[in-house]
Amino acid sequence: MDSKEKKINIGIGFVTGRKNFKNVIKMYVHNWKESGLIHNDNIGIHLFIAYDLHYTNTVVNDYTITDPKILEMMDSIHYLNNTVILSEIETLVKKNIVTLEEAELIFGEGYAMKRNAVLYFAIKKGMDYLVFFDDDEYPIANIKMNNTILWKGENVLLTHIQNLKYADITHGYHCGYISPMPQLEFNSKLSENDFRIFIEAVSNDIINWQSVKTKMEDGGITYADVNIKTNNKTIHVKETNGMKFISGSNLGFNLTKIDKIFPFYNPPGARGEDTFLSTCICNRVVKKIPCYTFHDSFLSCEQLLFGSLPGNLKSIKIDPGTTTQRFLKVAIGWIRYKPLLLYVTQNKNYENEIALIREKLKHVVPCICNYFNEDKFELILDEFDYFHLHVKKHYEDFKRTQVVWLKLINVLKQSNNK
């Protein structure tokens, strides 16, 4: 980059709730240093950290960066805790920009709202780009080579910066333990066909039976594609079923034209904030870029944070504690947003689709309970029915969130003169 070029300010967004957060940050910062971004006079790197103390019972010190070397390398750090967000809500309400109820649609409780806080403050602070990373993903790729693994450091942030000038949104690839699903051995309790029915019932175009089956055949592990790394090609994401699919992490936004930005949304207690954003961006330039992050969904590879590179990756086996409960939590999260996804993308055929999914779940949920020896999987049917009954309210909130966001964007445009 020429020394006379305008300085580009990059916001790095983390929505986090895990105790290992500061180790994750340290790994990313060293990665940025190695890729030449740190101490580049034309690049400013600013952290935006929205943390949840209740997710895994953490404390403020788990997120407060005190390492002088890291502090020196960052241009600024913004901690978006409840106090900061409530103060911003109070200001917006006092200025009659939004009502309290409207502010809670953007900044209330939930994962999507914390992402909105990061997005909002990044725009307010004048960032040119914003890139989201998850606290269980690392800038490294695992490549399968015969009977071992080749590990490769990934210039993830640099790749986003290089491509965001030509796109509204960029998102990269994921490898490792992408889906928090233990390795299954099918038997008389749960056949492969039963599990296929279950995945089809909860799936979207990313979580589908073929992708799940492929991962399971590799022990639940996704390896980086050597061809993607070799060809180094950027792909224009095309619309499919009214969506341009993106992922919630390894995800970049061009903030130089903020009227092109949509907010995140998910139904209360659900996930899918990236999926619902995908339904809003069909008229945006979305690019899939050639960089990987390693998803450590079971936190079974934290040694990677300290430079220890295993020669092989183990399949995640079922146990009555960690893996089963993690899968239960994810399955409930998936099914909670399925009705709204159908309502948005298949509205004309919504009732028929709901009926078909309910029948599939009635058949397969008892098998899932029996296989995992966990009756709590029965909650999936109750959750599905509850979110179906409230789908119109959630759809109304989904659309209202976009209207309220536009109010905020108009104020920020006047303030930032963008």
Measured distance CA(394)–CA(399) in Å, rounded: 9
Number of domains in the chain: 1
Q: Is residue 195 part of a domain?
A: yes
Percent of the chain with pLDDT over 70: 97
Note the pLDDT tens digit of each residue in 272-299. 999 999 999 999 999 999 999 999 988 8
Mean pLDDT for the stretch of residues 6-27? 96
Q: Is residue 220 part of a domain?
A: yes
pLDDT at res. 4: 57
Note the pLDDT tens digit of each residue in 173-223. 999 998 877 888 899 999 999 999 998 888 765 566 777 777 777 778 899
Q: Is residue 39 part of a domain?
A: yes
Q: In this model, does residue 139 exceed pLDDT 50?
A: yes
pLDDT at res. 207: 64
Note the pLDDT tens digit of each residue in 335-362. 999 999 999 999 999 999 999 999 999 9
Q: Is residue 2 part of a domain?
A: no
Mean pLDDT for the stretch of residues 211-236? 83
Q: In this model, does residue 418 exceed pLDDT 60?
A: no
Note the pLDDT tens digit of each residue in 105-122. 999 988 899 999 999 999
Q: Is residue 112 part of a domain?
A: yes
The range of the structural domain enclosing residue 158 comes to 8-416
Strands 8-16 and 43-51: parallel
Q: Is residue 1 part of a domain?
A: no
Q: Is residue 128 part of a domain?
A: yes
